[in-house]
């Protein structure tokens, strides 16, 4: 369990799986002896929110909800946006680069190489479309909903929209995205001949596994915390409008 008074360097050193989390909070190494709280405050990060996310990230049995529900929807939207940037700018390009290098230095047939390459390209397209849908429609809607909830009289146009729309209509695609990554790993392990560069092959499979876990954690936050809270706020606003 990570606490606010622990030295940040010690926390990261003992939990290297937290490294992908740091860019999402704009935290970089070189922490010195500063505590988790001191590092967070120095970078304008809410310490309690960081602790909730980090501890959930480390504990597979953790079910997000009670702790994260204490934070504003705006705080969660900011984190979700940062996570999307991490996926698009770091995680996915890294996997793609290693996978391409693996294909280029393999003895696979052209048909086998195209099979893997096309599979990944299709996945990347679906993945980017999913993130784009959230960023262009869902996240702005959540922020506007939170804003309207603070007004004495929410806007008429927004209330009319609420009567015909609910966040529950937003179909989560995380399961399909995770399954596709699993199928790619299965393709490499089960159906393709052995690769000459075994170490690079293992790196690709490890990166795919880490990305799958990351997607599961990210989906849990959205499905078990963000979506229910948005749905409840929608209900509150509709009730106010009727009275």
- Name the pTM for this structure: 0.87
The first and second tokens of residue 29, run together, are 């190494």
Report the pLDDT averaged over residues 15-31: 93
Instruction: Determine phi and psi for 35, rounding to 5 degrees.
Output: -75, 170
Mean pLDDT of the chain: 90
Q: How far apart are CA 183 and CA 187, in angstroms?
A: 6
- Is residue 173 over pLDDT 60? no
- Is residue 24 over pLDDT 60? yes
Distances (CA, A) of 229 to 30, 145, 147, 221: 37, 11, 14, 11
pLDDT digits (tens, 9 = 90+) for 63-118: 655 677 778 999 999 999 999 999 999 999 999 999 999 999 999 999 999 999 99
Report the pLDDT averaged over residues 230-239: 90
- Is residue 172 over pLDDT 60? no
Neighbours of 78 (CB within 10 A): 17
- Is residue 223 over pLDDT 90? no
- Is residue 209 over pLDDT 70? yes
Q: Which residue has the tokens 């969660």?
A: 76
The reported pLDDT for the residue numbered 178 is 78
- Is residue 127 over pLDDT 80? yes
Report the pLDDT averaged over residues 50-67: 78
The reported pLDDT for the residue numbered 64 is 59
* Residue 241 CA, distance from chain mean position: 34
> Mapped to the 3 state alphabet, what secondary structure does 143-205 carry?
HHHHHHHHCCCCCHHHHHHHHHCCHHHCCCCHHHHHHHHHHHHHHHHHHCCCCCCHHHHHHHH
Orientation of helix 139-150 relative to helix 73-86, angle to 10°:
160
The reported pLDDT for the residue numbered 57 is 85
pLDDT band at 219 (very low <50, low <70, confident <90, very high): confident
């Amino acid at each position: 369990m990570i606490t606010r008074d622990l030295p940040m360097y010690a926390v990261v050193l003992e939990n290297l799986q937290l490294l992908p989390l740091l860019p999402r909070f704009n935290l970089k190494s070189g922490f010195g002896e500063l505590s988790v709280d001191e590092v967070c405050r120095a970078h304008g990060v809410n310490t309690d929110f960081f602790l909730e996310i980090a501890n959930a990230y480390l504990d597979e049995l953790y079910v997000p909800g009670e702790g994260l529900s204490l934070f504003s929807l705006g705080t969660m939207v900011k984190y979700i946006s940062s996570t999307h940037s991490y996926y698009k700018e770091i995680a996915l390009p890294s996997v793609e680069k290693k996978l391409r290098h693996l294909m280029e230095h393999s003895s696979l047939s052209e048909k086998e190489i195209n099979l893997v390459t096309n599979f990944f390209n299709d996945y990347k397209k679906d993945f980017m479309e999913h993130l784009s849908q959230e960023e262009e429609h869902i996240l702005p809607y959540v922020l506007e909903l939170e804003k309207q909830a603070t007004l004495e009289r929410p806007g008429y146009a927004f209330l009319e929209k609420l009567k015909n729309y609910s966040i529950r209509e937003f179909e989560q695609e995380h399961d399909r995205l995770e399954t596709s990554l699993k199928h790619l790993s299965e393709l490499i392990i089960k159906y393709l001949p052995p690769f000459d560069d075994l170490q690079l092959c293992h790196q690709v499979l490890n990166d795919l596994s880490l990305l799958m876990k990351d997607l599961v954690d990210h989906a849990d936050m959205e499905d078990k915390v963000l979506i229910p809270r948005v749905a409840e706020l929608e209900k509150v606003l509709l009730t106010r409008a009727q009275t």
